[in-house]
Chains A and B, each alone.
Chain A
Amino acid sequence: MATDAPYLAARGVSKSFFGNPVLRDVSIELYPGRIHALLGENGAGKSTLINLLSGAMPADRGTIEIDGNPVPRMSPAAAQAAGIAVVQQELSVTGSLSIAENIGLGSYPRRFGIIDYTELSARAGAAASLVGLHEPLSMPVGNLPLGRRQMVEIAKALYRKPRVLILDEPTSSLSASEARILTELLQKLKGEGVAILFISHRLPEVMALCQHVTILKDGVRTADRSIAGIDADGLVRLMVGRDPGDLFPHWTTARSRAKAIVIKGFSSGLIREADLEIKTGEVLGIGGLAGQGQEDLLLGLYGATPAETSAAEVNGNAGLPRSVSQANAMGIAYVPADRKREGLHISHPIITNLLLPGFARAAALRLRNRIKEGEIAKGLAAHFAIKGDLDRPAQALSGGNQQKVALAKWMPHQPQVLLLNDPTRGVDVETKREIYIMLRQFASDGKAVVLLSSDTPELVHLCDRVVVIREGRIVSELQRADLSEQAIVAAAVGAEPTVTAA
């Protein structure tokens, strides 16, 4: 701990993509035994900085130093050799390989040039149990839900017994209990003298875990200081450059007696025999541990996976939609959690993404009207504060802005029911705030909003009502007055309401 040189440092690095500067003269130093937070809005350049630190990309200017010595040509292999491990924001796991093979990827134990599966089993098993990954090591990672894959990614970093551990939004797809395991683990590693760099948009986590913070704004370092003596509001101020308001909006219920959706004896995927009524003007929260069937409920309602029900009514029509197009016609829209895979066409321009639901339902051979399309898209972009040229591919947008596109594209069709699957995953605070305001606005416009969220505070602060799902069944329904994080977690893990410590 007493070394004066940081384990890993960037000195005055700059990077631009196609002439757009993303990082300008940024420095950062990672010391052993310290958890260092890297904060910034979506698109501030955090992931890019990490890519430079880990050799995944070369810097345009500036140097990377290991133990105080500049490294002329940094590469992932060189970083690995120096004990630097990265948990990427974009998962780097391979679906067709087993958990163990993923964990060991890039540094397998060998005997006679051949992977030593016995050794791999032992070492990968140890790394997996550190993060609470108890699935069989031979299971293909493709069979795991997103949150568990993230744990594989973390185990992969730990497997290398790193001196420097860099984590890019590791918690964004983790459930509360998984996140807790991770926090405890990081504390332990810190105690062992590992240098840790931690990126998250969840400020309470950062406040609890980190000792030092570096803040980026538009690619420029705006702060590099100890976290002691600063509160969450202070951090937000440094990130966005002005005073933050409250994260959650104040609202009064707009719930009416009219029912948007009624289902009885609904089964789809993991969901068994669910009964549910969704009223217009309400935000209905859906909670539970990850992977209990919450997503199947939304997809079943949306006609995207086959569902059975004994009785159903949607916006006055009997029966459930049997296909996505039918669901759209009935006024249901769905915003998926996994933006890149399910929500957007990232290689296509932002404008076509925004207009796709319109194209999906328009007469196939009617001529397009580019001028009108441009106006609609510009209107949406303005309303949702999506900045920049709409002809760029959606890839070029930061995560939060991508999420806004995924939401905005439904607006021209005035959906009566919005099914939202974790809409704030990986989104920065400012954008979160905007999205929260929109959600409540939708409800007060008389729409029904179904909000599936892994972020329990969202459920507590935004919802008129929350249903909790466990093992495919609705186990609890909490009204606004009864909502609290403890109550939701207790219902999720199946504890008696009084026994809140689960």
Chain B
Amino acid sequence: MNSSTSAASFTRRASMVLRSRPFLTFATVLLVWAVASVMRPGFGAFGHLRYLVELASVIGLVAAGQTFVVIAGGIDLSIAAIVTVSAVSLPLLSIDADPTGLTAILATLVMTTFIGLGNGLGVAYLRVHPMIMTLAMATFLQGLLIIIAGGSAISSQNPLVAWLGNARPAGIPAGVFVWLGVSALVLLIMHATPLGTRIYAIGANPLASRLSGVPLQATTTVVYAISGFTAGLAGVLLLGMNGQGYVGIGDPYLLASIAAVVLGGTSILGGLGTYAGTMPGALLLVTITALITVVNASAGWRSILFGSLVLILLLLSGREKVRR
């Protein structure tokens, strides 16, 4: 009604957004893109940026679950193994009767969700430290992989998986649509449902949450199950993008997911943060990786450059935190 106050509140909100960690991280990504495009013309080509976003969508999916877990005060070290299990076992779960391939995808996602659920039960009910529980789960899954890996003598050509990994409806990779869809859902759960609030609450102060009636164990369990689900989805996408799953396909995603979460401003101690920061965090990571790839230097120097860039960009996007 009152235009001057609404304008004032708009500027206040706008300045809040502009100084927020997610925005700063996003701005950093754009800055790096701009600088890199000037220095290496091919880098800024639409096709390349599109590919970077497509790659980021895999990290983004894995990091979605990781963001939930970290906000809830835990950490999931089984993510890499879950991604691999998903990509490797999907062909084994295919049913010939279903030509679309949807059932195989659903079966895989149900399986990885149950793996996550197992993590959650261990953390919530056995009270095993999340690091230990998820590390042990990763070890179990390695055992499982020995059994199932290489068992697929017949490569199953799942049309839906192939479509997810390769199609570009409206010029945009299908994986990016999956990521956007999941992101919308994640942001909705995180910020617009009681479940999201409970997750923040148990991460910030589990004891106070329990005394406020928050179902601590149930919420913890759900969080790890979500992480299993998103890691499974990332595995499906990776399978599609590479045409073939293999053991070790998920390995790069453990540290990447943690890095994306923390680069995006979520506190590793839990209770604070948002997936809105993790998204540009994931973009930042793939961008740095691509940048390092096109630099002509020895492996040692490239590694040093990568580490230094992460550190410098952390300083840029993390400046807000320093000021406090």
Contacts and interface: CB of A to CB of B under 8 A. Distances in A.
A touching B, CB within 8 angstroms: yes
Interface of A: 302, 304, 324-325, 327-328, 334, 336, 341-348, 352, 355-368, 409
Contacts of A341: 205, 207-208
A367 B271 contact: no
Given A325-B215, A357-B213, A352 B197 contact: yes
A360 B214 contact: yes
Given A345-B271, A347-B204, A324 B210 contact: yes
A360 B193 contact: no
Given A356-B212, A360-B214, A409-B212, A345 B201 contact: yes
B198 A359 contact: yes
Q: What 3 pairs across the A-B complex have the smallest Cβ distances? A: A364-B195, A360-B213, A362-B194
B34 to A, nearest CB: 33
B189 interface: yes
A328 B213 contact: yes
B314 interface: no
A347 B272 contact: yes
Contact of B194 (A325, A334, A364): A364
Interface of B: 188-189, 192-195, 197-198, 200-201, 204-205, 207-215, 222, 271-272
A368 B208 contact: no
Contacts of B200: 345, 348, 352
27 contacts: A324-B210, A327-B213, A341-B207, A341-B208, A342-B211, A343-B211, A344-B205, A345-B208, A347-B271, A348-B200, A348-B204, A348-B271, A352-B200, A357-B213, A359-B194, A359-B201, A359-B214, A360-B198, A360-B214, A361-B213, A363-B194, A364-B193, A364-B222, A367-B192, A368-B193, A368-B197, A409-B212
A409 B209 CA distance: 12
A324 B194 CA distance: 17
B211 A334 contact: yes
A366 B205 contact: no
Contacts of A345: 200-201, 204-205, 208-209, 271
Nearest to A332: B213
B208 A342 contact: yes
A472 B215 CA distance: 29
A377 to B, nearest CB: 13
Nearest to B219: A364
Contacts of A302: 211
A149 B271 CA distance: 27
A395 to B, nearest CB: 11
A365 B201 CA distance: 16
A369 to B, nearest CB: 9
Contacts of B222: 364
A365 B195 contact: yes
A204 B198 CA distance: 43
A366 B272 CA distance: 22
B267 to A, nearest CB: 9
Contacts of B204: 345, 347-348
A346 B271 CA distance: 10
A409 B200 CA distance: 17
A324 B211 contact: yes
B193 A365 contact: yes
A341 B258 CA distance: 27
A348 B201 contact: yes
Contacts of B215: 325, 360
Counting chain B CB atoms within 10 Å of each CB, the highest count among A342, A346, A360, A367 belongs to: A360
Given A345-B271, A364-B193, A367-B192, A356 B211 contact: no
A368 B194 contact: yes
A437 to B, nearest CB: 24
A362 B194 CA distance: 6
Given A361-B213, A366-B194, 20 more contacts: A304-B210, A304-B211, A324-B211, A328-B213, A334-B211, A336-B211, A343-B208, A343-B211, A344-B205, A344-B208, A347-B272, A348-B271, A356-B212, A359-B214, A360-B198, A360-B213, A360-B214, A365-B194, A367-B192, A368-B197
Counting chain A CB atoms within 10 Å of each CB, the highest count among B189, B194, B212 belongs to: B212
A332 to B, nearest CB: 10
A365 B198 contact: no
Contacts of B213: 324-325, 327-328, 357, 360-361
Nearest to B272: A347
A268 to B, nearest CB: 15
Contacts of A347: 204, 271-272
Contacts of A357: 212-213
A281 B215 CA distance: 30
A11 to B, nearest CB: 29
Contacts of A367: 188, 192-193
B119 to A, nearest CB: 19
Contacts of B209: 345, 356, 360
A363 B218 CA distance: 13
A342 B212 CA distance: 9
Contacts of A364: 193-195, 198, 222
Contacts of B201: 345, 348, 352, 356, 359-360
Contacts of B195: 364-365
A32 B229 CA distance: 67
